[in-house]
Structure 1
C-alpha cells in the first residue's frame, strides 16, 4: 500500500516510483501493476473508498468545469495551513478551487517540510508565487516559544540549507542557557544520561509532562524505554502505532464496518478471523454463502442473521454468538457507544485467548466507546476515526505517579506542532539523523536537516542533543561487537560553538587504589591472596 499511495499522491509513474523509492521491488513491477488494478476493481465492487480515493474523487469533481465553478463559489475565502506538507494532488485541488489568488492564503514553513515519505512535496509552497503571480509574501520570524540560545543554534543548523524563504528566528524573551551537546560513550550511557537529565529538570520544577525525548525513528527509543521502566519513570510514547492501528481496535472497527456496509469484504475477513477454527479458506466459503463475494443483491448481514452459514463444528458457537451480537446492534437504533459495548462483549473472549494483555485491550475498547459517546451516527464515527484518528494514550510504562506525571517520548514527525519546556534529542549521529535510508540525493538530505531543525525548535527553555559514540552490533559473527559513530553532519564546528559540550559515561577504572600500581604477576598474586586471606 505504501507503493500504491506514493504513486497516486505524487502523480508519478509506477516504474519511476519503484526505481526511486522501492528498488528492491522493481523486478516485480508487472505483478504489482496487476494487483493495483484488481485492488481498484475490488473497491468499486464493494462501494468503498480508501484515503487516496477521497482526494482523487474530489479532484475528479473539480475537473468538470461546471462543478468546479460551483464548488469554488461555495467559499468566499480559502486558507490552507501547513501548506508545505501538501502533495501534488492537493496542489491541483487548490488550483482548481482557486485559479486566481483572490481571497486565497496559504500558511507554511518550507524549513519544516518533513513528510516526503507521505508523498508531500515542498515544491507546492516554494512555487506558490509562480503559480499565483502577484502573491504577497509575509515572513514570520519572531518566535514566541524558544529562548534566544536555542534559536541561534537552530538558525545555524538551517544556515547551510537550500531553503527558498530564508528566515532568521528571533525572540523578545530574555535570558536562557545555551543548548547542551552531550556525548555519551554508548547507547546505554545515553539512556542513563537522558534519565539523569530528565530527573534533574524535574527537581528544578519542570514536570515530566513538560519534557520530551525526540528521535528519528520509533525503534530508536527501545533501549531508553527499558531504562525508564527500570527506574520507574512513567512515560507515554507517540509515533508508534496510532490508536486505531492497534489490532484490537481494528477488530472493533471491522465489526462496525460490517454493520455499516455489509459488502465490505475486508471487514468480514477480519471479523471471521477472530473465530477459532476459521482460517482463510473457511472465511472465503462463509463470505461466499453470505453473498459478500461474489456480490449478492440482498444484504449479507441480513442473510447472516437469518441463516447460520456452514462452518466447522468448533466455530459454530462463536458464530452463533456473533449473530447474536450483530442482531442486538441492528434490532434497535442504539447509539454507536452502546453498539461498541455490545461488540466488546463478543470480542473479549477472543482477546483473552490470543493475547496476554487482554485487560488492557478491553480497556481500550472502553476508550473507543467513550469517543463514540459524542456521536449519534455510526457512519460519522467510522469516518472520523479513519480520517482523524486519536493517538493512543494507554502506552504508559507503568502506573503513573500520584500527580499523573509522565515523560513524553515521540518521533520527530509526530512532535511537529508541539512544544515542551525541555527537549532531549537522542541519536544525533550520522546514520540516525540523517537516517542512512534517506541520503540518496540532496533533497533527502535537506529534509533530514529540516527534521533536526524541527526537533530543536520544539524546546522552550532547555535543549539537550545526545550523541552516543559507540553502537553495539554483530555484523560479522565473531568480529568486534561495536562500531564508532560520527556526529551528525548537521552540527559542524561553527554550529557546535553555540552549544555547551559535555561527555557522559562510565569513568575509567582506578588502578591506583591504596599505594603503588599493581601490575603483571603481582596483580594476579594479590587477587589470589585475597581469595584465601
Structure 2
C-alpha cells in the first residue's frame, strides 16, 4: 500500500498521531475528532511503514461492537485479514490468554465463564449457607463488593478483619465465593482480568513470551480503564516504548463503576519519554454546540486541556426551554419531535437524554399518546423494570388476592426465608386441588403441612397483604401506591443495594408514586373500574405496546451514560436542574461534580445539528412538589450560543370552534398556561396544559389541595385569579 493512502485522508493532527515515532503516545482525542480512524490508520502505518508484523499487534477496546468495527476497518484499509492480530475487548483478550494458559493460571482446562446473573445465583447460595438474610444482606450488594475488590486487584486473602461487622460479613462471603468458584472451575468477568494479570505477574515465562510477541500495544477509550486493566497493560508493555493510547479526560464518566481518570494522568509519569498529541477538530457538531461544550468543560480543574473546533459553520443556536413541570417538559419535547418529523426528519436521528432512568416515564407516556414510535436504549421501558413490576404485583394482590402470577412474583421478594422446596410444595398442592396459590397457602398452613419456618413466613406474607389492603382501602391512588412501596419492604430492600443500580431502582419506585399521582382517573369509565384497577390496566397496556425494534424509525430514549459514543442530528438533554443534573449526591463532592460536568459535556457533544436543553420550574419527586433551581451547567453556557424558547411561540391554540360555546365559555379560550384559576369544588390552581378546541377544549390544572385534574373548559366554570 502507498503511504499516501494511509495519511492523505487525515487532517494534520491525525497525521501526526498516525505517523508518530515508536515511543509512548497519548492521543488526547476530543469528542467527534475521529479517534477510531486514527487507531485504524495507526495499525496500517505500523504494518506498511514500520514493518511490524500483524502477529505482533495487540489492540484493546471496551465493547464487542467497537472491536468488530476496528477489525472490519483494518481489513478494508489493508486488504488483509485481521485474524492474526489480537483485536478485542479487555475481557475477550484476557479470556483468550487464560484459555491458552489455564493450568499456569491455576484453572481447569474446562473452566466456565459466568455472566452477572450466574454470579448472583452463586452469591445467593452463599448468603443462604451463612444464614445471612437477603433483606439485610442484599445479594447485589455482595456482588458489587466482590467485583469492586477484584477491579482493584484485591483477593480475600489480602484482606484483614478490621473489626467492622459489615466488612467482616462481606469478607466471609468473598472467601467462600472464591472457594466455590475455584472448586467449580467458574470465572466471572472481573476474575478474567484479575486472573490474567496474576498470570502475567506470577509466571515469568508467560510474561516474557507476550512481551516479546506484542511489539505494539494500542488502547482505545483509555480514560475508562480501571486499576487492574492499567496494571495489565503495564505488565504487557514491560516499560518498553510500545504503548499507544487514545483517550479523553473530558469524557471520563464511569468513575462509579471503577474507571480511574487518574490513569490518563499517570501515563505521563509512568512513560517519561511519551508524546501527547491533541485531536481538536470536530467532525460532528456545529460551532455553537462546540463553543457551549468547551465553556462548560473548562470549569473543571486539572484538565489536560483542549478546545474543540469545526470548520463547518456555527449552525443553529442551542434552544433552552423552561417548562412549568415535568408534564409540560414532555409535551414540549414531543411537539418538537413531531415538528422535526413533519419537516422530513427521521425519528431515528433523535435522542432524548436524561440523567436518571426514572425520567423516561413522562416522555414514554407522551410519545405513546401521540403515536410516536420510540425505543428505550439499553434498558427496559418504565413499567417493564423489575422493581416497578414488583411494586405493581403487590398492588395487584391488594386488588385481587387470587392473582397467582403476582403472588409468585413477590411472595419471596424481598426474601422472607421461604425455600424453593416449600414453594414447589405449594405449587403442587394448588395444582392438584385445584386452588389459587393464596387459597393453597391458607390450606397448607391450617393443615400444618409446612415446616414451621415456611409456615411462619407464608403466614406473615398473607398478613402483610391483608394489612396493606385494609390500611389503603380508603386512600387515594397516589397515597395507596406510596404506602405499598414503603410498607412492602421494597424501598428499604433497594436502598441497601450498592452502586448505581440500587439508586436507579429507588428512583424508579419513587417515579411510580409520581405516575400514580399524575394519573387521570376517568369518572365516566364504562367498566366502572376503581382507580387502582384502572391504573394497573394502564400500566399493563403501556408495558406491552409500542416497543419499537432496533432498526425501526423510532425516537431513542437513553441515559446520558448510555449515549457515550453515539451521535444524533437532534438531541434533547432534559431535566437540567440542581439535584437532578448535577445529581444531589455530587453537589458537595468536588470529584463527583466534575464527573457530572464531564457527563454534561458528553451529552451536549452527541448533537450534530440541533441541541435542545430543558429544565422544569416545578418537578414532583416522590409525590412531593419541588421547585428546583436551573442546573449550574446552564449558567456556564455562553449567552451568545443560546436562544430561550418561549412557550407561547411553541403552542398555537385552535379557536375555530369557539363560536359554538356560550358567551361565558368563549372567554375560556383566553386561558393561558401559567394562569392562576379557581374552581368551586377543587379550589385554587395553576393551568399547566391546554388540549383540544371548541367544546372539546380541556385544561390540565394543578390544584393546591386536590392535585392534578383535567377539566373540560366549556363546563368547568373556572374563575381567573390575578
The answer on whether the counterparts of 2:150 and 2:191 sit within 8 Å (CA) in structure 1 is: no
Which of 317, 334, 345 does residue 195 from structure 1 map onto? 334
- Rounded Cα–Cα distance in structure 1 between residues aligned with 2:339 and 2:574: 17
Matched, 1:492 2:635: yes
1:172 and 1:397 mapped to 2: Cα distance? 44
User: Which one of the candidate residues 558, 565, 589 is aligned to 1:417?
Assistant: 565
Deviation at 1:315, TM superposition (A): 6.4
Deviation at 1:100, TM superposition (A): 2.4
**Which residue of 223, 237, 255 corresponds with 1:84?**
223
- Alignment check: 8 A CA contact 1:235 1:397 kept: no
Aligned residues: 374
Give the alignment's TM-score, normalised by structure 2: 0.47
Distance 1:190 1:59, change over 3 A: same
Pair 1:196–1:120, CA change in 2 (3 A)? same
Partner Cα separation in structure 1 for residue 307 and residue 618 of structure 2: 35
Indicate the SS of the match to 2:558. strand
Deviation at 1:75, TM superposition (A): 1.6
Q: Deviation string for 1:31-60 (max 9, x for gaps)?
A: 112111111112112110111100111011
* Aligned twin of 2:185: 47
- Where does residue 471 of structure 1 map in the other structure? 619
Out of 118, 138, 141, the residue aligned to residue 280 of structure 2 is 141
CA distance in 2, matches of 1:180, 1:198: 14
Structure showing greater relative contact order (alpha-carbon pairs closer than 8 Å, 6 or more residues apart): 1
Which of 436, 458, 470 is the aligned partner of 2:606?
A: 458
Calculate the TM-score normalised by the size of structure 1: 0.63
Residue of structure 1 equivalent to 2:212: 73
Q: Residue by residue, what CA displacement relative to the aligned partner does 1:400-453 show, whole Å, maximum 9, x if unpaired?
A: 59x941000111111110000000001011111111133342111000000000
**Deviations 1:248-300, CA, capped at 9 Å, x for gaps:** xxxxxxxxxxxxxxxxxxxxxxxxx99xxxx9987589xxxxxxxxxxxxxxx
Q: Deviations over 1:102-157 (max 9, x none)?
A: 22100000000000111100011122111111111110000000011110111111
- For the pair 1:2 / 2:141, whether they are aligned, the reply is no
Deviations 1:161-192 (A, max 9, x none): 12432111001112411111111010000000
Unaligned runs of 5+ in 2: 1-142, 387-407, 410-415, 432-542, 654-663, 672-678, 681-713
Partner of 1:441: 589
Contact 1:147 1:461 in 2 (8 A): yes
Residue 426 (1) aligns with residue 570 (2): no
RMSD: 3.9
CA apart distance, 1:67: 1.8
For residues 619 and 374 of structure 2, the distance between their equivalents in structure 1, rounded to whole angstroms, comes to: 24
Corresponding residue SS for 2:292: helix
Kept in 1: contact 2:296–2:637 (CA 8 A): no
Please point out which of 473, 476, 483 is paired with 2:626. 483
Alignment counterpart, residue 209 of structure 1, candidates 348, 352, 355: 348
Q: Structure 1 unaligned runs (5+)?
A: 18-25, 248-272, 286-310, 319-394, 476-480, 518-522
Q: Check the 8 A contact 1:59/1:93 in 2, yes or no.
A: yes
Displacement of 1:493 in angstroms is 5.7
| Distance change (3 Å), C-alpha of 1:282 and 1:13 | closer
Which residue of 31, 35, 50 corresponds with 2:173? 35
Residue 169 (1) aligns with residue 327 (2) = no
Structure holding more strand per residue: 2
Q: Within 1, Cα distance between the matches of 2:584 and 2:376? A: 23
Secondary structure at 2:276 match in 1: coil
- Structure 2 SS opposite 1:240: coil
SS at match of 1:212: strand
